Structures are given as structure tokens and as C-alpha cells.
Amino acid sequence: MKLLFAGTASGHPVTHRRCTAIVAEQGGNAVLLDAGEGVTSALLDHDQILERLASIWISHTHADHISGLPMLLQGMHLAGRTKPLELCVPPGRERWFRHWLDGMYMFEEKWSFPLMICAHAKSTYALAAESGSRDSVSAAMSSNAGSPAFTIEAQPNPHLRKVEDLAESHHMRADAFSFILHAPGGRVVISSDITGMEDIAAASENAMLLVIDCAHVDVEEIHELAERQPRLRIICTHIPPELEPRLPGLQERSAADFGGRIQYAYDGMEYTIENDI
Ligand SMILES: [Zn+2]
């Protein structure tokens, strides 16, 4: 599996990083995890990745995670895409996404390709009976050859809990999710935005790779996790401006103390997961 870090900024606009967007690709299937501002130009740099995109998963609806979505869809439409695209959004937000696009005159009727907007949670409940889990969502992606390539699970996290009451007063839910990618050889955890290390502690146990939000977790906690789990590789993203001056030193420390197992993402960084999971 290959990961492409198309956008690695936190919620603070900066000149040298785009907002959050990660592509996971394997077996001809490309899935985009969040679509922050700048994602379209970032992906245009990569050979036909836009055509290979089968699905977009949105972790939560903060601006830095969705602000690039309309231009991405417009670009696909103008390029004459006909292949269907799935947009998986937090539960209860499907109609909002449709209205948002309608407000830009991006009406379904004139679309060059079918855009299926669905909630992660719908799959969850269907799967709940099988897996016994009420809180997780899975959607299997099939490779071009028809064999399963990898499965994405959206796991709720409390990132938006602090605005829950206010959101309710606006008749809105306040759901945020981390992503867990299951592949035949192992598990990749992509925290997206969280409130702290405890949100993804259980999920990252025995995972092969953890991609973690550096804006809401202290780097010392990341070092502690790397010590506790000597096989876990960690990529830090969602880099806040205040961390930038520390990055050279942190990279040196990673090389010296952790055999380079902790990396700090930059825009355009590609990462191939070992053992070809
Ligand atoms: Zn957020």
C-alpha cells in the first residue's frame, strides 16, 4: 500500500503546506482521506491519480478537512470523468454536502459522473450485526481484479465533543472520525484530528503504521508511544506552525533514538508500507 501526503498542514494557513489530504492506494484503488484546501493542485502533480480515485472519505467537517472538495469535484467534472465516485461523510451530513454543492450550481443532473454521497454510519449498522461493533464502520474496496484490496473503517473520536452542545443548538451533530485501513498484511491507523493520544491508543496497538495529528498531541507522547511499541512506525502530520522550527531536531532524535521510526510528513511525501500490505 502506498500513502501520498497531499496536504500536511494543521488548521492554521501557511505558505508551504496545504490542508489535510492523504491518498491511500493499492491494487489500482485510490482512496482520498479528507480533502483540505489545495488538494486538487496537489493531486494533479501525480500521474492520473484523480482518475484512479474511487472514493473520498471525510473525517469531519472542519474547514481544513473539506475546503478543497468542491474544486476537486469540479476538476473531475471538467476533465470529463465518467467513473462513479463515492463520497463517504459523517452520518447525518449527507444532505448538507448535497446542498453545499447545489449552492455552487454543482447540481447532480449536470454532473459528468455519478457522485454517491453516503454516510459512513450506514455501513456501520449493516456490519454491526456481523462484527458486534456499533461504533465502527467498514466499507470494502475491491481491486480491479475483483479481490479485496483493503478495508476502511471509520472509528468515532471525540475531537468535536467540545462543540457538541453548540452544534445541537444549531440542529447539527458533531461527529469526528479516525480511519483504520485493514489490509491483508496489517493495519494502518490514520488519526485525523483527535483530542489526545488516548483516542487512538487502542487502535494503534499492534498496528504497522500510525499517522498521527501533531496539532493535538504532544511530541513527547509520540516518543513515549514509540518506546512502548518498538515495531510501530509513526508519521506525524497536521503539523502546526509552532512545531516547524523543531522539526530538524525531532528528525535527528528520531534517527538517534528510534531508528528513524518516527517521520514528519511534508506535502508530496510518499510512503510505501513495508511487506506490501
Ligand atoms: Zn478538526
Q: Is 195 inside any structural domain?
A: yes
CA of 177 to the centre of ligand 1 (A): 10
Burial level of 182, CB count in 10 A (0-12/13-18/19+)?
middle
Residue 207 has pLDDT above 70, yes or no: yes
CA of 159 to the centre of ligand 1 (A): 7
CA of 167 to the centre of ligand 1 (A): 14
Q: What is the mean pLDDT of residues 53-79?
A: 96
CA of 11 to the centre of ligand 1 (A): 7
Q: Is 277 inside any structural domain?
A: no
Q: Is 19 inside any structural domain?
A: yes
CA of 48 to the centre of ligand 1 (A): 29
CA of 218 to the centre of ligand 1 (A): 16
CA of 62 to the centre of ligand 1 (A): 5
Q: Please give the Cα distance from 228 to 207 (Å, whole number).
A: 13
CA of 226 to the centre of ligand 1 (A): 24
CB 150 within 8 A of CB 1: yes
pLDDT (0 to 100) of residue 198: 94
Sheet (strand 115-119) strand order: 115-119, 85-89, 53-57, 29-33, 21-26, 2-7, 269-272
CA of 143 to the centre of ligand 1 (A): 31
Residue, of 46 and 207, whose pLDDT is higher = 207
CA of 21 to the centre of ligand 1 (A): 13
pLDDT (0 to 100) of residue 266: 98
CATH number at residue 247: 3.60.15.10
Least confident of 84-98, 117-131, 172-186: 117-131
CB atoms within 10 A of CB 27: 16
Q: Is 172 inside any structural domain?
A: yes
CB atoms within 10 A of CB 92: 14
Q: What is the residue range of 72's domain?
A: 2-271
CA of 201 to the centre of ligand 1 (A): 19
Number of domains in the chain: 1
Q: How many helices (H) and strands (E) does the chain have?
A: 10, 14
pLDDT in tens, 213-265: 999 999 999 999 999 999 999 999 999 999 999 999 999 999 999 999 999 99
Residue 69 φ then ψ, to 5°: -65, -50
Q: Is 194 inside any structural domain?
A: yes
pLDDT (0 to 100) of residue 148: 53
Mean pLDDT of the residues in the chain = 87
CA of 156 to the centre of ligand 1 (A): 13
CA of 199 to the centre of ligand 1 (A): 14
CA of 192 to the centre of ligand 1 (A): 8
CA of 196 to the centre of ligand 1 (A): 12
Residue, of 124 and 74, whose pLDDT is higher = 74
Q: Residue 183: pLDDT band by 50, 70, 90 thresholds?
A: confident
CA of 124 to the centre of ligand 1 (A): 22
Please report the beta strands in the chain, taking only residues with DSSP state E, as ranges in sequence order.
2-7, 21-26, 29-33, 53-57, 85-89, 115-119, 137-142, 148-157, 176-183, 186-190, 209-213, 233-237, 262-264, 269-272
CA of 160 to the centre of ligand 1 (A): 7
Ion ligand 1: residues, CB < 5 A: 62, 193
Residue 12 φ then ψ, to 5°: -85, 125
Q: Is 276 inside any structural domain?
A: no
pLDDT in tens, 110-156: 899 999 999 984 333 222 223 333 343 344 444 344 445 778 889 99
CA of 125 to the centre of ligand 1 (A): 25
pLDDT in tens, 7-56: 999 999 999 999 999 999 887 778 999 999 999 999 998 878 998 898 99
CA of 238 to the centre of ligand 1 (A): 10
